[in-house]
Amino acid sequence: MALETTLPEGAPDEVVTHALVRDVDLNAFGFPGTLALITLDNGEDHNRPNTFGVKSLLELDAAITEASSRKPAAIAVTGKPFIFAAGADLSALSFLAKREQGVAIAKLGHDVLRRLGECDIPTFAFINGLALGGGLEVGLHCTYRTLASTAFTGLPEVFLGLVPGWGGATLLPQLIGPERAVQVIMLNALNNNTMMKAKDALALGVTDAVFEPADFLERSVTFAASILSGATTIERNDYSQDPSWEKAIATGKAAALKKYGGAEIEAPKRALELIAQAQKATRSSGFDAEDQALADLVMSESLRSSLYAFNLIQKKRKKVEGAPKSSLARKVTKVGVVGAGLMASQLALLMVRNLKCPVVMTDLDQERVDKGVAWVHTELAKLVEKRRMSQESAHRLTALVTGSVDKKVFASADFVIEAIFEELSLKQLLFKELEEIVTSECVLATNTSSLSVEAMTQGLKNPERVVGFHFFNPVAIMPLLEVARTSTTDDVTAATAIAVGKELKKTMVITKDAPGFVVNRLLTRFMGEITDAMDEGTPADVADNAMRSIGFPMSPFELLGLVGPGVALHVAETLHKNLGPRYRISPTMQRMVKEGVRTFYIKGDDGKFAPNPAAVALIEQGGNPSTGEQVRNRALSALAQEARMMLDEGVVSTPAEIDICMLLGAGWPMVLGGILPYLDREGISESVTGQRFHPKGVASLA
């Protein structure tokens, strides 16, 4: 158990999770004897999960010793109200300087937790709430597990650039089999860190019983007593001879390659190796392999990057940089949506689901209005079918969404957002019309992706009430919301917009009203370099695959098919007009839009995607081709140049805000950390701009 408990220099202090022991008399539950119950509690408010750092593990170790000394019939572990444990305390990992420290932390976790699986009496995990990573691994070491019906659980390590390194990669495949283990460890993690609901965990065999939270502890103790008395037995399968091991590993490998655009990322690779070894591994050999994998990954560049990105996302979810005082925000009791197309309909659905207030939509004619309202109503009905919403709630929300062709229905609205065609003159006319209808306190928002918000306010009596409110498609899934303030947007308007964004559960970044804001400005510059290289004569597949090795889930031309050439061209033209010739207009894109060709790739009869002949025929035939490496360096250099300009112009106030925008709005890979730390590490920042964006050490071993 010997381990240096002093945290690395600069690391934040560990919030210690205490382990408290008490006896539970089992006689009242039909079994003579006692159960020693260990309760995990970090003593913080209920919103902070229990976590395990070095000191917390040592406290749990001491609690297991104390519990064993009481000679109970069984030992059980549970958590504080509504929270079991959220796993390892990751706050100090990026401060580790030596691989040996990583080995020591991995080994300590194994040495402590394996005591729960190697006792001479049964052990139970009463998982009463959130259990992630090391929290779930506590349960996996126990002989039996119960789970609250409201609890979420999972192993998110691969998502963060780690592996389940305190027993999970060995014990879970042996408990539920290789295919299900790959689902939990790999597929769920790579699918934006999907967690298991209680019913899923029960179906997969991760837990033995699920109970409602109201009497969870009492029923879990009853379950334990029935196990001890022999009234209940749990059968365990031996998966060592299961024929599906190779297939399961192949499935995991394919999922990782798809997620990272063909790039081989270390964490998924190491996780699959551990799962494969679990077929024949003993606890000791499996745990030793986990120790080594965890230590290697802890010292890797990708983990430092992932932790930077993860911590940044958590921070920005809680605090919006530069936001006015929240007390200035006005209450929003009715929302207006101008437009009833797909984007507007998505906005209406998001608003009614989260604000739960009346939402009224308008459009040019009744047919369009009816179509938009019907779409929202249908989506609410689908949520009921998927059991994500009760019938009663759906009925109530459905009644709140209405439509009209008369904008006078906005007279009592507190917040109106437009999602009409991206034409400045149309938006200017719209806002003038709205100003004559709405109250003096109503906020007017625009979902424009590239136009000047300030230009939309020209001629208005109250331009201070207008704000940019840029969502990303699909609205319900994409977490980023760019809030653009003009030179006249007042604090009350900004505070109200921020309050609405929080209700919508979006991560917000306040930007200056500048062309393209953050994400579209950088993406358009990046995409422009790729299409320019192609127009100059670089083969389309070479240009499109130049960034594959980095780990993007989607190539530039695949993204173009999702966004649509028309939208991409419109944004490029807007930025070309406002920011200059570095935003070049691609003749290939112009031809694609003119000919109505929407994508570079089409699905063949074999189900695989291949270049679209119609698009290939429209490619500009230049005579100056580049290599893939040249295209990659060109695109990354353009990103560095543009990001420096944006910071100098005050589009956002910090490099971290550019990082969060690209992570959440453009799908910048977590394993690369923020875009700017990556450009720093690659030496591109200094070679292009003469300086780094971040100090050395941010998301880096440097």
The domain segmentation of the chain, as residue ranges, is 1-155+195-232, 157-194+237-299, 326-512, 519-650
Q: 3 vs 103, which has greater pLDDT?
A: 103
3.40.50.720, 2.60.40.420, 1.10.1040.50, 1.20.970.10: CATH of 519-650: 1.10.1040.50
> Is CATH 3.40.50.1100 correct for 1-155+195-232?
no
pLDDT of residue 71: 96
Catalytic residues: 137, 157
**For the segment 349-370, what is each residue's pLDDT rounded down to a tens digit?**
999 999 999 999 999 999 999 9
pLDDT range class, residue 6, cuts 50, 70, 90: low
pLDDT range class, residue 9, cuts 50, 70, 90: low
Bridge pairing between strands 34-41 and 74-79: parallel
pLDDT (average), residues 154-174: 96
Bridge pairing between strands 152-154 and 130-132: parallel
Tokens representing 700? 């880096």
Alpha carbon distance 502, 519 (integer Å): 20
pLDDT of residue 300: 87
pLDDT of residue 371: 97
Per the DSSP assignment, residues forming a β-bridge with 78 are: 39, 126
Nearest to 445 by CA among 461, 458, 459, 457: 457
Do the Cβ atoms of 411 and 434 come closer than 8 Å? no
**Would you put residue 167 in left (φ > 0), alpha (ψ -120 to 50) or beta?**
left
Residue 230: CA atoms inside 13 Å, Cβ hemisphere, count? 0
Alpha carbon distance 128, 198 (integer Å): 11
Do the Cβ atoms of 16 and 42 come closer than 8 Å? yes
Backbone φ and ψ of 88, nearest 5°: -65, 145
Alpha carbon distance 505, 441 (integer Å): 24
* % of the chain exceeding 70 in pLDDT: 97
Residue 646 has pLDDT above 90, yes or no: yes
Do the Cβ atoms of 373 and 340 come closer than 8 Å? yes
pLDDT of residue 651: 97
Lowest mean pLDDT among 59-73, 165-179, 594-608: 594-608
**Would you put residue 491 in left (φ > 0), alpha (ψ -120 to 50) or beta?**
alpha
Alpha carbon distance 642, 45 (integer Å): 43
pLDDT of residue 98: 87
Alpha carbon distance 203, 531 (integer Å): 48
Beta-carbon contacts of 229 under 8 Å, excluding residues fewer than 6 positions away, are 30, 31
| CB atoms inside a 10 Å sphere around CB 672 | 26
Strands (E), 169-296: 196-197, 209-211
636-640 — which CB contacts under 8 Å span 24+ positions? 636/679, 636/682, 636/684, 637/684, 637/687, 637/688, 638/525, 638/526, 638/528, 638/529, 638/582, 639/522, 639/525, 639/526, 639/675, 639/679, 640/679, 640/684, 640/685, 640/688, 640/689
Alpha carbon distance 85, 105 (integer Å): 17
Question: The pTM is what?
Answer: 0.88
Residue 7 has pLDDT above 90, yes or no: no
pLDDT (average), residues 44-66: 89
SS percent in the chain: helix, strand, coil, step 5 = 50, 15, 35
pLDDT of residue 314: 86
Alpha carbon distance 97, 109 (integer Å): 19
**CA triplet 519, 317, 644: central angle to 5 degrees?**
35
Bridge pairing between strands 480-485 and 466-471: antiparallel
For the chain, the average pLDDT equals 93
* Distances 251 to 189, 199, 240, 268 between C-alpha atoms, Å: 14, 23, 18, 12
pLDDT (average), residues 11-28: 91
* % of the chain exceeding 90 in pLDDT: 83
Tokens representing 122? 């049964």
* Distances 255 to 83, 100, 163, 263, 450 between C-alpha atoms, Å: 31, 32, 16, 11, 34
pLDDT of residue 8: 66
**For the segment 570-580, what is each residue's pLDDT rounded down to a tens digit?**
999 999 999 99
Beta-carbon contacts of 307 under 8 Å, excluding residues fewer than 6 positions away, are 90, 93, 94, 160, 161, 699
Residue 701 has pLDDT above 60, yes or no: no
Q: Looking only at Cα atoms, what is the longest distance across the chain?
A: 87
Residue 432: CA atoms inside 13 Å, Cβ hemisphere, count? 10
Pinpoint the alpha helices (H) of 319-363: 342-355
Nearest to 545 by CA among 449, 631, 470: 631
Do the Cβ atoms of 437 and 410 come closer than 8 Å? yes
Residue 1 has pLDDT above 80, yes or no: no
Lowest mean pLDDT among 291-295, 393-397, 458-462, 667-671: 667-671
pLDDT (average), residues 55-81: 96
**For the segment 447-500, what is each residue's pLDDT rounded down to a tens digit?**
999 899 999 999 999 999 999 999 998 999 999 999 999 999 999 999 999 999
Residue 2 has pLDDT above 50, yes or no: no
**For the segment 597-629, what is each residue's pLDDT rounded down to a tens digit?**
999 999 888 878 889 999 999 999 999 999 999
Amino acid at 636: L
Lowest mean pLDDT among 97-101, 158-162, 457-461, 695-699: 695-699
Cβ neighbourhood burial of 28 (10 Å; 0-12, 13-18, 19+):
exposed
Q: Which CATH class is domain 326-512?
A: alpha beta
